[in-house]
Amino acid sequence: MSKGLKLTDILVTIVISVGFGILYKIWGPLYYAVKPLGIHMDQLIYGMWFMTATVAFLIIRKPGVAFLAEVAASSGEFLMGSEFGLEVLFYGIIQGLFAELLLMAFRYKRYDLLVVSVAGLSSCLGSLLLDFYKGYIGDLSTWNLILYVAFRFIGTILFTGVLAISIVNSLEATGVTNLVRSSSKKDFDTLNQ
């Protein structure tokens, strides 16, 4: 699957993701600072952790990028001494995989709000699965669990969908995305004038 990625694609993906990794290193303490509020307000900002995959995919638009991005971001976060330790790596792998699978289901052909939001939700599902085993979230009282999941879903759509799309749209305007996209047939045609 990822055999087809070129060095430029990989390096760009990883650099963006490590950038996000730095952000996550700051996001972690923020998350834990919000967490003691209790009623899962923290879950609203959880979606940030799924964002790398969609942002990278929206920029590079190739198979394998979402997975690589999520793994790279979590490795970056891990290597910077994350409070979550190796846990981030596992979450990264699962979340990346879930996002990737969803994008694959759309054949990597769509780059719109709906698809990336759903990809984000898929990551979210992956993270919940791990939470279930690791964080015993099944043992929360039911109303509390619903709140937990709902908040995380909402946050996910905000970050991986709305925010990611708006960031990448602004990036498109700067033209930097042309670097990693293939040139179109039309461009070649004008060469023949």
Partner 1 sequence: MEYITSIKNLNLKFPKEEGLLFNDLSISIRKGEKVLLLGPSGCGKSTLLQVLTGLIPRSMDVPLKSESIQIPDSWGFVFQDPDSQFCMPYVDEEIAFVLENLRIPREEMTDRIKKLLTTVGLQLDNIHNKIQALSGGMKQRLALASVLALDPEVIFLDEPTALIDDDGTAQVWDTVKSIADDKTLIIVEHKIDQIIDIIDRIIVFTDDGTIMADGEPAYVFSHFKAEIKRFGIWYPNAWGEYIKEKANITYNNYSDTVLNLDNFRGYRGKVPAITLEKATVQSGEWIAVTGANGAGKSTLILSLMQLLRTTGEYKIEGRPIRSFSDLEKKTYFVFQNPEYQFLTNRVIDELTYDIRQRVSPDVMKQANDLLSLFGLKDKQNQHPYHLSLGQKRRLSVATAFLQDPKILLLDEPTFGQDSKNTFKLLELLQEESRKGTIIIMVTHDLNIIHHFATRVWEVKGGKVICDWKKDEIKREEGRMYEYTY
Partner 2 sequence: MNTPIKESWLHKVNPALKLLILAILFVFAVTIHQLNVMIPFTLTVSILFFLCTGQPYRNLFLILIPFFLVFFSTSLSMILFGKGDTTLFKWGIIHVTEESLYRGVHLGFRALVFALMGITFVLTTKPVKLFYSLMQQLKLQPKYAYSFMAAIRLIPIMFEEFKTIRDAQKVRGLHSEKGVWSKLKRIKALPIPLLSQSIRRAFRIAVAMEAKRFNSLQERTFYYQVGFSTYDLLFISYIVSSIGLSYWLASEFPLFPVTDVRY
User: Which CA distances in Å does 16 have to 6, 121, 133, 147?
Assistant: 16, 21, 30, 32
Which 116-155 positions form the footprint of partner 2 (CB under 8 A)? 133-136, 138-141, 144
What distance, in Å, lies between the first and last C-alpha atoms of the chain?
38
51 binds partner 2 (CB under 8 A): no
| Cα–Cα distance measured from residue 43 to residue 40, given in angstroms and rounded to the nearest whole number | 5
Q: Which stretch binds partner 1 (CB under 8 A): 6-14, 57-65, 146-154, 161-169?
A: 6-14
Identify what 67 binds: partner 1, partner 2, none; CB under 5 to 8 Å per kind: none
Instruction: Give Cβ neighbours of residue 97 (< 8 Å, ≥ 6 apart).
Output: 67, 126
Determine which residue in the list 47, 63, 76, 126 makes contact with partner 2, applying CB under 8 A: 76
Identify what 1 binds: partner 2, partner 1, none; CB under 5 to 8 Å per kind: none
Residue (59 or 102) nearer to partner 2, CB: 59
